[in-house]
Amino acid sequence: MKKGLILITAPVHPFLVETLKERGYEVIYEPAMDYDQMEQLIPGVQGLVVTTRLTVDRNIIDQAAQLEWIGRLGSGMELIDAHYATQKGIRCISTPEGNRNAVAEHTVSLVLCLMNKICSSFEEVRNGKWLRTENRGTELRGKKVGIIGFGNTGTAFSKLLVPFDVQVLAYDKYKKGFSHDYIEEATLERIFAEAEVISMHVPLTNETFHMANDAFFYRLQQQPFFITTCRGPVTETSALIKALDEKKIRGAALDVLENEKIALYSENDRSDFENLLSRPNVIITPHIAGYSHEAFLKMATVLLEKLDRT
């Protein structure tokens, strides 16, 4: 007998679909589904699986008469009105444990590529240039690394820094008492004053929207390398470009953009995007930090494990 209907609105590992079916659920797997299609189906849905594409707002929740849980593959609940859903008795589940290591490894990769000019020097070689002195790198070893946001991904990133003998200055507004060994709980002011690398790992909330703005970059004292693998709107694009122009930062590596819908860019968006792409000290990857093959499976596994706890 079918237990109920599960609606999956994004690409997921086949293991998730197969396991839910084995457990007796009916599964609708529509990874390209749009908001209107979700709205049509939601009244009969018992479980909803989403990622970062569709908004689960009050309208959807009010129509979800049979909805018991919403599963978010990955971290960040900014597209889900989780507070309202909880009030309606709907369980909201995120799976940051599933892709935190993938994000951490990608962040380390961005740091090393940026500091050692890997991407820009490779592009020069492709164009027939063999410039050694101009591409002299900067070692990560012994540096002070500021981590802003010390949750799942920030903590995972810090663990991968052990071999580099760095000092981690970590800030988290909602977490205390985590200093140990090479990790020191720090204020934002200390990170601004001392960090030579800064990596952003905060969720997108009203508090963190445009957290990296003009005032943020103006306070940086060590001309650090700036890395972000969290959410695009945490960083204000115009402020980032200004910080690069004024050499408040030595370079930037971004896995996320304030606006990631490149095909729909306005003239100003396109100008800012091309400005960043033209710089040899900027690296941009297409929001893939938490999207490794291993994480694709593990996020599904974590969601199933958490559902089992109900």
260: annotated active-site residue: yes
Of 30, 260, 274, 294, which one is the catalytic site residue?
A: 260
pLDDT at position 13? 96
53: annotated active-site residue: no
231: annotated active-site residue: yes
pLDDT at position 1? 42
Of 53, 91, 210, 287, which one is the catalytic site residue?
A: 287
Which residues make up the CATH 3.40.50.720 domain(s) of the chain?
5-94, 100-284
Q: Tell me which architecture the domain covering 5-94 has in CATH.
A: 3-Layer(aba) Sandwich (3.40)
In order, the DSSP letters of 66-121 are: T--EEEESSS--TTB-HHHHHHTT-EEEE-HHHHHHHHHHHHHHHHHHHHTTHHHH
Class of the CATH-defined domain 100-284:
alpha beta
pLDDT at position 52? 80
Mean pLDDT by 10 residues, the chain (310 residues): 84 96 95 94 96 91 96 89 96 95 98 98 98 97 98 97 98 95 98 98 96 98 98 97 98 97 96 98 97 96 91
Of 72, 105, 231, 236, which one is the catalytic site residue?
A: 231
Q: What's the pTM?
A: 0.94
Bridge partners (DSSP) of residue 48 are 7, 70
pLDDT at position 2? 57
